[in-house]
Chains A and B, each alone.
Chain A
Amino acid sequence: MIEIEVQNETTQSQDKLRFAVVPRIGEGIRLRDDAGYWTSFDVLDVWYQKAEYGDVWVPYLHVRKTGEGVVEPAHMHQEAVSFAT
């Protein structure tokens, strides 16, 4: 299993989860939301950072709840940003 830090744009949180494989950009993954329900999230980015404990590169995921788009910065002051529910 591979431990990956999942940085969640929707909940603005980060959690370390175990995966069998590293998801790719554009894939969908199912994660439990705050209410405990399985919810679909889109993988927006995958990157690697050097671990603190040695010369090992560990993966990170950037995910967002499926169906939520990014609001243009010019309109951000007028409406709630969709990624923050």
Chain B
Amino acid sequence: MGAPLGAIGIGRAAIPGAHAAPPRAVPTHPLARAPRPRTCLIVDDSRVVRKVSRPMIESFGFSVTEAENGEEALARCKAEMPGLVMLDWDMPVMTGIQFVTQLRALDATHRPHVVFCTSRNQTQDIFQGIEAGADEYVTKPFTADSLRAKLERIGAV
């Protein structure tokens, strides 16, 4: 007579002769395993755009910080990597493309989502942005709904 089955569960251990398989190591990208924090960095040289997009992103449940250009944003990312970066294209000091290229080269605990927010909407611009390392692209002017849809598509919200 075999071992009695417990009241809960019909686990393998209760079946005579069965052995639990050892956990299989699943190879994953080290950065992919770290959870992204619910923080967003808005990078835009326009104070007004930062001002209007901030409440939108906060309404999605993110805590938001701001940077005026790519250089400042990169310094903020080195200090504390956000989960999401909303990025303008044309900025003084360091452009959005330069920023995202350097951001992706950083050895970070997690890979933040990067969304370009710009009035450039030509196909080659979008391609260049994605190729540089951005995850998504939203053209100005954007609405909270359109932004949310983009963020949902990349799993940021």
Which residues of A approach B to under 8 Å, CB–CB? 7-14, 45, 47, 52, 60, 62, 71, 73-74, 76-77, 79-81, 83-85
Is B127 close to A, CB under 8 A?
A: no
When A12-B119, A81-B144 are in contact, do A73 and B48 touch as well, CB less than 8 Å?
no
Q: Which residue of A lies closest to B92 (CB)?
A: A52
Say which residue of B47, B49, B92 sits within 8 Å of A12 (CB atoms). B49
In the complex, are the beta carbons of A73 and B143 less than 8 A apart?
no
Interface of B (DSSP majority class): helix
In the complex, are the beta carbons of A73 and B46 less than 8 A apart?
no
Which residues of B approach A to under 8 Å, CB–CB? 46-49, 51-52, 55-56, 58-60, 92, 119, 140-145, 148
Say which residue of A8, A11, A76 sits within 8 Å of B55 (CB atoms). A76
When A52-B92, A77-B148, A80-B145 are in contact, do A7 and B59 touch as well, CB less than 8 Å?
no
Query: Chain A contacts of B142 at CB under 8 A?
Result: 12, 84
Query: Chain B contacts of A14 at CB under 8 A?
Result: 46, 48-49
Query: Chain A contacts of B59 at CB under 8 A?
Result: 73-74, 76-77
Q: Which residue of B lies closest to A80 (CB)?
A: B143
In the complex, are the beta carbons of B140 and A12 less than 8 A apart?
yes
In the complex, are the beta carbons of B48 and A7 less than 8 A apart?
yes
13 extra interchain contacts, Cβ-Cβ under 8 A, other than A7-B47, A9-B52, A85-B141? A9-B48, A12-B46, A12-B48, A12-B140, A13-B140, A73-B56, A74-B59, A76-B55, A76-B144, A80-B143, A81-B52, A81-B144, A83-B52
